[in-house]
Amino acid sequence: MNLNDFFQSKTFKGILIGIGAVIIFLFIFRLGMTVGFKKADFSYKWGENYHQNFAGPKRGFFRELGGMGDRDFIGAHGIFGKVLKIEGSEMVISGQDNAEKIITVGADTVIEKFREKIKIDGMAVDDMVVVIGEPNNEGKIEAKLIRIMPPPPPKPGEVKIQ
């Protein structure tokens, strides 16, 4: 089979259809997330401003639907970033979406550093961590797993100040 036959083959056509289907799926997935987020955001603001602003959003609901980028939502189930503060069973982490989140550490939270399990007092400010958990009603994440990552290598020309 030469290259030209391959481009006209059913296999190649199948690959094209598969890629097309994944593209459509990803766009629909993203659209679903956007619409869901906007609805939740709208409902939240509507409830918050019910007494002050009964007329609805100032710019109109459909204008609020703008922005289909990848980084307009704050993740609710996980965070990856640097520990800013540790206080009792809570810590503040500056995350990948430039939002600071409060993480609560419970009795069932697994904290891993390399191959060993540690306690929260074994953690320090400036640790790079990946956290998986569940959001609670207070806007915090109840951590299920905290993995302490090795610090990222300095960028070329970057001087680390101790």
Partner 1 sequence: MLAISRVIVFSFSLLGSLVAAWPIFSAVKIEFVNSGFLQFLSLAFSDFEVIITYWQSFISTLLESLPAISIALSLLIIFIFMGSLRFLTKDIKILINKNILAN
Which spans of this chain sit near partner 1 (rule: CB under 8 A)? 3-4, 7-8, 12-13, 15-16, 19-20, 22-23, 26-27, 29-30, 33, 68-71, 73, 75-81, 95-96, 110, 112, 130, 132-134, 144-145, 147, 149
Question: Minimum distance between the CB of residue 49 and partner 1, rounded to whole angstroms?
Answer: 27
Which CB, 55 or 107, lies closer to partner 1? 107
Question: Minimum distance between the CB of residue 26 and partner 1, rounded to whole angstroms?
Answer: 4
Contacts of 78 (CB under 8 A, 6+ apart): 130, 131, 132, 133, 141
Which CB, 56 or 106, lies closer to partner 1? 106
- Block residue for tokens 């998986």: 132
Entry field: residues in the chain: 162
Q: Measured between alpha carbons, how far is 110 from 118 in angstroms, rounded to an integer?
A: 8
Is the distance from CB of 79 to CB of 101 less than 8 angstroms?
yes
- Block residue for tokens 């593209």: 23
- Block residue for tokens 């540690």: 118
Which CB, 26 or 56, lies closer to partner 1? 26
Question: Minimum distance between the CB of residue 27 and partner 1, rounded to whole angstroms?
Answer: 5
Element (H, E) at 95: none
- Block residue for tokens 């097309």: 20
Question: Minimum distance between the CB of residue 162 and partner 1, rounded to whole angstroms?
Answer: 25
Which CB, 110 or 125, lies closer to partner 1? 110
